[in-house]
Structure 1
């Protein structure tokens, strides 16, 4: 009984042990990527040319999406990672 109480108490204390990682110095490439993502999210890096799809392109993409529902969902997925394929 005492062991159960201690384990429950330990489980309650687990979230208190989780801490956020402090942002540290990042590489030049990461800073540039973060800068571009920030520009995109704020809408500051918008193309002056609107990119639209033709009606035929929209119909084809919609048809492709609808056909994806024709395939049954398998019971499980085989894992092919690693060197031995079975």
Structure 2
């Protein structure tokens, strides 16, 4: 009985241990990447040149996307057709 109470208390307190983990990237490279992503999100690192697509470019892009649905999806991919994988 005493053991089950101890186990119950331990299981109840266990999720609280996750609160001690600091959020965010730990490595220096991860922190630098996070800073660049935040600059992009905030719009502070945006280009001065607005990039737009012409109506013809948008139409061709949409047509390529629609054409991609005309190709059948094979049930299985053959290794010889897709590339080489290292076999050990």
Same fold, judged at TM 0.5 (above): yes
Instruction: Map residues 49-60 of structure 1 onto 2, 5 A cutoff.
Output: 49-60=49-60
| Structure 2 unaligned spans of 5+ | 1-10
* TM-score, normalised by the number of residues in structure 2: 0.56
- Which residue is 1:36 aligned to? 36
Out of 77, 83, 86, the position equivalent to 2:86 is: 83
| Larger helix fraction of residues | 2
Task: Give the aligned length.
Answer: 68
1:34/1:78 Cα in 2 relative to 1: closer, same or farther (>3 Å)?
farther
Rg (Cα) greater in structure: 2
Give distance in 2, aligned partners of 1:22 and 1:59.
47
How many Å apart are 1:31 and its aligned residue?
Answer: 2.0
| Structure 1 unaligned spans of 5+ | 1-12
SS at match of 1:48: coil
